[in-house]
Chain A
C-alpha cells in the first residue's frame, strides 16, 4: 500500500537559518513526489515535484528536495528561512499512473522566529 509520512507536525526555526521538513514515502511503484505549501486561507501551491529525472529538485522560493530511493525519503530544505515561509507544507505522493489516487501527508506547520 502507498503511504506518505511527514515526521514532524510542527517545525520552528529562526529567520535566516536552514529549514528541513522531512517526508518518507512507501510505494510499490516509482511514484511521483510533490511538495505543496498552504498559506493561511490560501489554496495549495506547488513548490516542486520529482518525476524520476534529477534526484535533486529545485523549486520556487529557494526550496529544494532530494529524492533518496534507498531511504525512501523526499525531504524539503531551504538554506535560509524567511518570515514569508511560515505556512503548512504537504508532502504528496502520486503512485505511478494513478493521479486520482494522490496521497497527502499530514502536513508540517513551519513557524519562523524573528
Chain B
C-alpha cells in the first residue's frame, strides 16, 4: 500500500539554525499538508499546499516557515531560524483531492528537538 514517507525521523539542532524537513507524499496525490504536535499537546495544522502554492496557513505558520515542492516527489518544510518552542513532532500528509471527505494520509513524522 502506498504511504507517505518523511526524513529524517529525528533531528537535533541548535537554536537559530535552519532545518529542512522532507516528505515524499503518495505519488498521485495533489494536496499536501504539514502539521505539528508539541509534546503533550494536540496536533495542529500548519499549512496546506496545492499546485505549487500555499492554499491555507495557520497563525503558527509565520515568516520563519516556508514550504516548497522542489521536484515532482518531495515536499519540504523549512524553518529558517529555529526557536526552542519549535521542538515538536512534524507530520506531513497528502490527499488525492481537497474537500471535507477526503482522507489524509500521514507520514510517520519527524521529531525535531531545538537546543
Contact = CB atoms under 8 A, between A and B. Distances in A.
B1 to A, nearest CB: 11
The 10 closest A-B pairs by CB, nearest first: A43-B108, A100-B48, A44-B106, A104-B43, A100-B56, A96-B100, A51-B101, A97-B100, A43-B106, A32-B100
From A34, A36, A46, A100, residue with most partner B Cβ within 10 Å: A100
In this complex, the interface size class of chain B, counting residues with CB under 8 Å from chain A, is: 20 to 34
Interface in A40-63: 41-46, 49, 51-52
24 contacts: A29-B100, A41-B108, A42-B108, A43-B6, A43-B91, A43-B109, A51-B101, A94-B100, A95-B100, A97-B100, A98-B100, A99-B48, A99-B98, A99-B100, A99-B102, A100-B45, A100-B48, A100-B56, A100-B98, A102-B33, A102-B104, A104-B42, A104-B43, A106-B42
Nearest to A44: B106
Contacts of A29: 100
Contacts of A102: 33, 35, 45, 104
Interface of B: 4, 6, 31, 33, 35, 41-45, 48, 55-56, 91, 95, 98-109
Nearest to B109: A43
Interface string A75-88: 00000000000000
Contact of B105 (A41, A46, A52, A101): A46
